Structure formats: structure tokens, C-alpha cells
Structure 1
Amino acid sequence: MVATRRPAARGVRLRASAVNGRIEISLPPRGGEEIVAALLKAHHTWLEAQVASWPRAIPFAPDARLPIDGLPVRIDWQPDHPRMPMLVGDVLRVGGPLSLLPGRTERWLKARALADLEPATRRLAENLGQPLARVSVGDASSRWGSCASARSGVNDAEGARIAYSWRLIMAPDWVRYAIVAHEAAHLVHQDHSPAFHALNRQLDPRAGEARRWLARYGAALHWVGRQS
């Protein structure tokens, strides 16, 4: 359980985060302790049900099964396998010291995500006639993609910067494309206006379907690579 005091909070808020795997409490700058105790007592059954429904952790360990492109893949670790991970059918072969397996697997997934997402993003940006300075991947828990508008006077070439969660590489390719289309639409419309949604649907007619897929399965992607 994590309790955080927020300057702008006007009351106490209780949340069970399936993405982070923790109970989160937001408090105003002062006071609220009695309300927290009452909320936890009143919502005990609800909190237990929420925690029980959270996804299970999938560590980067021998024989673990993780999704890639929406399909299950088994980690086949053997010390004499090549150290660079290699996807062969539904098996990810990884070698070298066992202690380095988690780091190697995550770096490989991040590189695969960038290699997939960057060219797709640049193609859409070019088709829309919008400058794009940089595409990157990170591990944000609150959003699957973000678009920062172009600014002059920065180190990057003039153009917008788009960042994605590397965990999208575990989702089906059409779900990834939906996020790419969403961020590409933000190159034209830095809001969620009707014009933005119209362009987004034009770029990807399956945008709504992808949102529903992520709402149902997205939290589980954040548990891949965790020990517990």
C-alpha cells in the first residue's frame, strides 16, 4: 500500500492499481488519516477481490511463457545457447549466465519494440507531412504512447517526439498499430477534438477495438518481467 499527499487533493482517494500491483491512497496536504482507516475497513472485501483479480507476474526465467505479438513464447535458456536472444517459432533462445537472463531478455524486447514502432511511426508522419524528430521506447505505466509537439532550440532536429511503452511489443501487431495511429494523429491535432478522432479513425478503423483490447489485457503486460 502506498499513501501519497498531494497539494491539489481536496479529499482522500482510494485506488487499487492492477498495473502497479498496489493499493494507492491520495491524501490532502494535511489530515485525512481517520478517513483512510474508515475507507480501508469499509472497502476491505472490495480490495481483496481487486487484488485477487490482478494478473500474475511472469518473470524472465527459464521456461517462463511471455507474449510476443500477442502469442505465447517460451524462454529456452541454456548456458551454451548464443547470448543474444533469438526467437525461433514460439521459443526464445537465450544463453550465457543465468543471472544476466532478465536483463538480456528485457533489452531484446525493447530493441524489438523500437525496431517495429519507429518505422511505422515515421511512415505515418511522412504520409501526414509532419516533421518527426525522434521515436523512443520507455516503460511508462500510465500511458501506451505520448507525443510532444515540435520545439525549436533543442538538440533534436526540429519536429515532434513520440515515445511508446516497449511493452506494446507483447500485444498483437494491430493493437500496436492503433497506438501508432493515435500518436501520429496527435502530430496534426494536439488534443482529443472531433477533428483528432476523425483523423484517428481514418488512420486506423480498429482504434476502438484496440482500446478495448488494452483495457482488458493491457494491465497483464505490465506484470511481465516481475518476480512477484
Structure 2
Amino acid sequence: MLRWRRPQLPEELIIAGRPVPVVATRRPMARGVRLRASAIKGRIEISLPPRGGEDVGAALLKAHHAWIEAQVAKWPAPIPYAPGAIIPVDGAPVRIDWQADHPRTPVLAGDALRVGGPLSLLSGRIERWLKARAIADLEPATRRLADQLGRPLARISVGDTSSRWGSCAGARSGDGARIAYSWRLVCAPEWVRFAIVAHEAAHLVHQDHSPAFHALNRQLDPRAGEARRWLARHGAALHWVGREA
């Protein structure tokens, strides 16, 4: 007796010599199969219904191969933390100047980031330095606007999110709001970073995106719209800082 075998979706595609992961996710509410090329995550995403759909997903990958190639060609290049690599800090190019006998704590000297110690620990040292620099800039700026608005804050933190640059939770709580940012904002120009701070500060007053929210956001930062356009053009590249591939 012959049994039908469910088609297998590939875990990876090779596009112009570049390995691209393929991630399939079942969505409880999905009614069909959807294909997406994520420039931020650097992968092809296939959304499947609760049951089945693999055959349709495999057919979509084949039928849209040229489209996938075109999308991947537009993705940013990875920027690993390696000696001599150029990473963005405050929107400016900074060269990683690694020498084993340099101080182990990274030091920004002009357009060079001097750092020493074992090469195997370089990536961790640089990323921790970037995160510390991010919170050192974002926290006082956020507290300054919160004080200006007369709103309490419970906590400010940084993480590595791919869906949003900032988030505000608990604004209605008497204990104060919790605001979280992507540490990768430290790679963007200061005025772009401040625009995200102003956006989240406006959410301390308005927990929506109503006209009143946007009016307050523009009051706190007249360059809010310009910053959104900058992130639309350059934001994806910030997610490739520190990637090997």
C-alpha cells in the first residue's frame, strides 16, 4: 500500500551563495499560507495554518524564487565584531581597533574603538559596551521627559527586539511605567534615538496613537517624522550589527 508523504519544507536556501534560513510557523488563526522575506531577521518566513499547508509553502518557495533573490539582494550586509570592522556608533562609522595588549574595557577614541584581551571574547565585550552606552544615554533622556510631563517611571531597560524600537507598559499604574528600548538605537544618530524616547514618553500620557498622542509627540520632538523616515531607510541595517552572517 502506497502512503502519501507530506512534503518537507527546507530549513535553508542558498541565495547567491548566501545561506538564508527558512522558518515555518503555524498560526492558529491563519486561513492560508503566507510567504515573507524579513530583512531584519535575515530569513524567509512561512506562515502556515493550524494543519497542513506544507505543500503550498514548498510551491510558493519555488514559484517566488526570483522574488526571494531580489529581496535578499537588498538585505544589509552583516557587520561582525571583528578587528578592523566598521560599526556605527551614534550614526558615525567607528573602526574596531583590537590589540591583545589594549585595555580590555572598550574605549572610544575618535573614530576608533580600542579594545584588548582575548580575541575570542571580543564580540561579548563590544556588545556589552554598546548596551551600556545605550542605557547611559536613553535613561536620563527618558527621565527628563517623564519629569517634564509629571509622570512616574518604574523602570527603564534595553533589550534586543526586532519588532519595535521602544515600548511602554504600565503607564496607568500608580507604581510608574516600564519603558524598554532596543539597545541597537545606540548605533543610530542621537536625534533619531531621542525621537524614540519622545515617542515612548508621549505614551506616558496617551496609551494610543490618537491625534492627541501625535500632537504631544511632535511637541516633545519636532523631528519625529524625520526620525521615522530615517529608521524606515536605515533601521534594518542596525539589526545586522554584530552578525557573522
TM-score, reference length from structure 2: 0.89
Q: Which residue of 1 aligns with 2:191?
A: 174
Gaps of 5+ in 2: 1-21
Q: Which residue of 2 aligns with 1:35?
A: 56
Gaps of 5+ in 1: none
Query: Residue 41 of structure 1: CA displacement?
Result: 2.3
Whole-Å separation in 2 of the counterparts to 1:9 and 1:185? 34
Whole-Å separation in 2 of the counterparts to 1:31 and 1:83? 52
2:144 corresponds to 1:144: no
Q: Which residue of 1 aligns with 2:5?
A: none
Q: Which residue of 2 aligns with 1:94?
A: 115
Query: Residue 150 of structure 1: CA displacement?
Result: 4.0
Q: Once the two structures are aligned, what percentage of the paired residues are identical?
A: 82
Q: Which residue of 2 aligns with 1:65?
A: 86
- The correspondence of residues 180-195 of structure 1 with structure 2, limited to 5 A, is 180-195=197-212
Name the SS for the 2:204 alignment partner.
helix
Q: Contact (CA 8 Å) 1:168, 1:176: kept in 2 or not?
A: yes
Counting matched residue pairs gives 224
TM-score, reference length from structure 1: 0.96
Greater Cα radius of gyration, structure 1 or 2:
2
1:104-144 Cα distance to aligned partner (Å, 9 max, x none): 00000000000000000000000000001111000001100
Q: Which residue of 2 aligns with 1:13?
A: 34
Q: Contact (CA 8 Å) 1:134, 1:160: kept in 2 or not?
A: yes
RMSD: 1.1
Q: Contact (CA 8 Å) 1:83, 1:94: kept in 2 or not?
A: yes
Q: Which residue of 2 aligns with 1:201?
A: 218
Note closer, same or farther for the CA distance 1:151–1:189 as it changes in structure 2 (3 Å cut): closer
